[in-house]
């Protein structure tokens, strides 16, 4: 193994941008489709993998929502989450903040409680059996309307002990953060933090809206921030983290190739940037693979990789004491 790969493997990390539905590997999708008698348009695991060719965010989302339809029982959501936590262990992820999309499931008749209880139970086991700490972030699908998001927030009100924040994902263009200003305001009044996908395909104006209207603690993706100098200054001064997903950006054609990714530029400017996997089953790798491909294409040094790992803990929703413990662990790898 090359020295840099070995270093990345040993580096303690937090993952802050992972959609649990996006960790559904073709093998599990196939198995669940048989068990639950849900038809999927593929005859084999190989056929599923071959279908994973995307030319933008929407072409991915269409397949991603179709795949999620095999998830029916609480056990299915448990197994999905547990499989991801085992990958965390392999990738030396010590802390993870997991997104899930309740509306993907409730809108096809799955009870809100089944989904959250299955995911939560696996996260508790992840702490007890694997030593991985975690938080859960409930995302609203932005292509659906405000009323649907309000209904979802209402359903979450008896589970507030299991959720740290609300987020915003799905088709970005045409669905600006402003559409959900009132829902996010209500979520905050319930004690929840906020994050939002912005500036993945959408313009810098969407990042401004996420900050000014949704009062987000972090921006998910945010790679288009570089197009707006005043925005970059704000993100640096206010230390607002970006959760960047390099392999996702290549697979969804946000950048043509990894050598053109702006990750290193953002890091060099002093933004709190982090490396994450987004939808690892669909985009060709878990967090270490994202670190490796970014490091190799952009010639990131060990110091820059360690800074990225420290950023991941600093940008997380854990306590300051815990952040210090994890950052010290990162320093020890240098």
Please give the Cα distance from 114 to 100 (Å, whole number): 13
Please give the Cα distance from 224 to 57 (Å, whole number): 15
122 Cβ partners below 8 Å, 6+ apart? Answer: 77, 78, 79, 80, 81, 82, 85
Active site residue 46: no
Please give the Cα distance from 165 to 162 (Å, whole number): 10
* Choice from 13, 95, 179, 197 touching ligand HPA (CB under 6 A): 197
For the residues of 126-179, what is the DSSP string, one character each? IIIII--EEEEEEEEETTS-HHHHHHHHHHHGGGGGG--EEEEES--TT--GGG
Burial 149-182 (b: 16+ CB within 10 A, else e): bbbbbebbeebeebbbbbbbbbbbeebbbebbbe
159 is in an annotated binding site: no
Residues forming a β-bridge with 221: 198
Q: Is 22 in the site for ligand HPA (CB under 6 A)?
A: yes
80's contact among ligand HPA, Zn ion, none, with CB below 5 to 8 A by partner kind, is: none
CB of 6 to ligand HPA, least distance (A): 29
* Choice from 273, 278, 282, 305 touching Zn ion (CB under 5 A): 278
Return the residue nearest ligand HPA (CB atom).
Answer: 169
Size of the site for ligand HPA (CB under 6 A): 10
Q: In 3D, which of 251, 221, 218, 173 has the Cα closest to residue 317?
A: 218
CB of 283 to ligand HPA, least distance (A): 9
Question: Considering only residues 259-288, where is the footprint of ligand HPA by CB under 6 A?
Answer: 278-279
For the residues of 252-267, what is the DSSP string, one character each? TTSSSSGGG--HHHHH
200's contact among ligand HPA, Zn ion, none, with CB below 5 to 8 A by partner kind, is: ligand HPA
Q: Is 101 in the site for Zn ion (CB under 5 A)?
A: no
Residue 85 and residue 15 in contact, taking contact as beta carbons nearer than 8 Å = no
293's contact among Zn ion, ligand HPA, none, with CB below 5 to 8 A by partner kind, is: none
Active-site position among 200, 201, 209, 293:
200
Question: Considering only residues 201-240, where is the footprint of ligand HPA by CB under 6 A?
Answer: none
175 is in an annotated binding site: no
Nearer to Zn ion by Cβ, of 20 and 211: the residue is 20
278 is in an annotated binding site: yes
Residue 198 and residue 172 in contact, taking contact as beta carbons nearer than 8 Å = yes
22's contact among Zn ion, ligand HPA, none, with CB below 5 to 8 A by partner kind, is: ligand HPA
Nearer to ligand HPA by Cβ, of 19 and 95: the residue is 19
Please give the Cα distance from 88 to 95 (Å, whole number): 8
Q: And the tokens for 175? A: 């669905």
Q: Is 74 in the site for ligand HPA (CB under 6 A)?
A: no
Numbered residues of the known binding site: 17, 19, 197, 278-279
Which residues in this chain contact Zn ion in the complex, by CB under 5 A? 278
Active site residues: 200
Which residues in this chain contact ligand HPA in the complex, by CB under 6 A? 19, 22, 57, 169-170, 197, 200, 248, 278-279
Numbered residues of the known binding site for Zn(2+): 17, 19, 197, 278
């Amino acid at each position: 193994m090359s020295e840099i790969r070995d270093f990345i493997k040993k580096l303690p990390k937090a993952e802050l941008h992972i959609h649990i539905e996006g960790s559904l590997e073709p093998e599990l999708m196939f198995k669940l489709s048989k068990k639950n008698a849900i038809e999927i348009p593929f005859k084999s695991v190989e056929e599923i993998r071959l279908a994973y060719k995307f030319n933008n965010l929407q072409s991915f989302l269409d397949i991603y929502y179709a795949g999620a339809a095999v998830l029916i029982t609480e056990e299915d959501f448990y197994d999905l989450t547990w499989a991801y936590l085992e990958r965390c262990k392999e990738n030396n992820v010590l802390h993870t903040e997991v997104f899930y999309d309740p509306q993907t499931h409730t809108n096809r008749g799955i009870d809100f409680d089944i989904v959250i209880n299955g995911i939560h139970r696996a996260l508790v086991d992840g702490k007890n059996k694997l030593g991985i700490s975690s938080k859960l972030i409930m995302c609203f699908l932005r292509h659906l309307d405000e009323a649907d998001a309000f209904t979802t927030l209402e359903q979450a009100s008896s589970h507030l002990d299991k959720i740290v924040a609300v987020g915003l994902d799905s088709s970005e263009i045409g669905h600006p953060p402003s559409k959900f200003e009132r829902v996010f305001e209500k979520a905050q009044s319930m004690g929840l933090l906020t994050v939002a996908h912005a500036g993945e395909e959408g313009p810098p104006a969407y990042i401004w809206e996420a900050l000014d209207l949704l009062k987000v603690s972090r921006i998910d993706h945010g790679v288009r921030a570089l197009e707006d100098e005043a925005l970059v200054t704000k993100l640096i001064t206010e230390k607002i983290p970006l959760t960047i997903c390099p392999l996702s950006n290549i697979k969804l054609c946000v950048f043509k190739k990894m050598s053109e990714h702006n990750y290193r530029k953002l890091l060099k400017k002093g933004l709190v940037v982090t490396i994450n996997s987004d939808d690892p089953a669909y985009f060709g790798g878990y967090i270490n693979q994202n670190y490796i491909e970014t490091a190799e294409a952009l010639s990131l040094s060990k110091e820059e990789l360690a800074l990225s790992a420290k950023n991941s803990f600093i940008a997380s929703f854990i306590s300051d004491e815990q952040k210090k413990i994890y950052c010290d662990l990162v320093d020890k790898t240098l």
